[in-house]
Amino acid sequence: MTRSALLVMDVQNFTIARVAAPPTYLTRLASTIASARAASIPVIYVVAQFRPGAPEAHARNRTFVRNPTCAGWIEGSASAAVHAAVAPQDGDVVVTKRRVSAFAGTDLEIVLRSLGVERVVVAGVATSGCVLSTVRQAADGDYGVVVVRDLCLDPDEEVQRVLMEKVFVKQAEVVDSEEWVAGLDL
């Protein structure tokens, strides 16, 4: 049986507020996380955080340098914390990233390999950012990839639709959370 891990990416106070996530999103995500834990599937939180002053934001990196929102992801700030409704618990892994992809410059690959993970199940904010970059890099790394459609949010509804219906289906299985949970051995 292929070992999976649930990646919960950028579900931080700042990003949840920025995309105006509906309360049902956090409720659905919390339920899915609980189901993963009940099925002994590792839950890995990936958080975007920068040191004060964001020295990691290179002048050529348009995502961060032109984006004044880096201040929302400063290490130790309340805005950079994982939302309380879905906060990590003992036994969960937290990976800190300083780029868009969960893999770029992090130890995620080592964690996945050490846990024997062959398939990543992806949820997070924003679909056009961390979800897209992580899905592409995971697929290139020969992981099986599952994108949980209703657990991914993007501020642009058309971008969300195109990514889910036309892009991700080429490299991943795209399912809703109820469908994914129904397939777990609980």
Question: Letter for the amino acid at 125?
Answer: V
Tell me, yes or no, if 166 is annotated catalytic.
no
Rounded to whole angstroms, how far apart are CA atoms 114 and 116? 5
Q: Which position among 90, 92, 107, 130 bears the catalytic label?
A: 130
Cα torsion at 18, 22, 25, 28 (round to 10°)? Answer: 160
Tell me, yes or no, if 170 is annotated catalytic.
no
| 23: exposed, middle or buried (Cβ count in 10 Å: 0-12, 13-18, 19+) | exposed
Tell me, yes or no, if 10 is annotated catalytic.
yes
Reference 54, options 42, 76, 70, 72; nearest CA is 70
Rounded to whole angstroms, how far apart are CA atoms 77 and 83? 12
Q: Which position among 97, 150, 152, 154 bears the catalytic label?
A: 97
Q: Tell me 57's DSSP state.
A: S
Structure tokens at 39: 């099925």
Which residues are known catalytic residues? 10, 97, 130
